[in-house]
Amino acid sequence: MNLTTLTCEQQNSIALIRFNRPDKANALNAAMWQELQQAMEWADLEPSVRAVVLAGQGKHFCA
């Protein structure tokens, strides 16, 4: 996946999806919503993923 507002990685059976706009307090914008949908669809279709952790880069989860 080519993501600009999120990072996405898999560690064992856990998908770790992070909001990646710390300079904007991870404020949700249209691009982030679209990428979040893509990332969640990937996690849903990936048979080795058993759980998803949603986190934010920097001091804020999201704004």
Q: Where are the domains of the chain?
A: 6-56
User: How is domain 6-56 classified at the architecture level of CATH?
Assistant: 2-Layer Sandwich (3.30)
Question: Does residue 53 have a pLDDT over 90?
Answer: yes
pLDDT digits (tens, 9 = 90+) for 2-46: 999 999 999 999 999 999 999 999 999 999 999 999 999 999 999
Other beta carbons less than 10 A from residue 8's beta carbon: 19
Beta carbons of 17 and 57 less than 8 angstroms apart: no
Q: What is the pLDDT of residue 1?
A: 79
Reference 33, options 61, 6, 1, 60; nearest CA is: 6
Mean pLDDT, rounded, for 43-60: 97
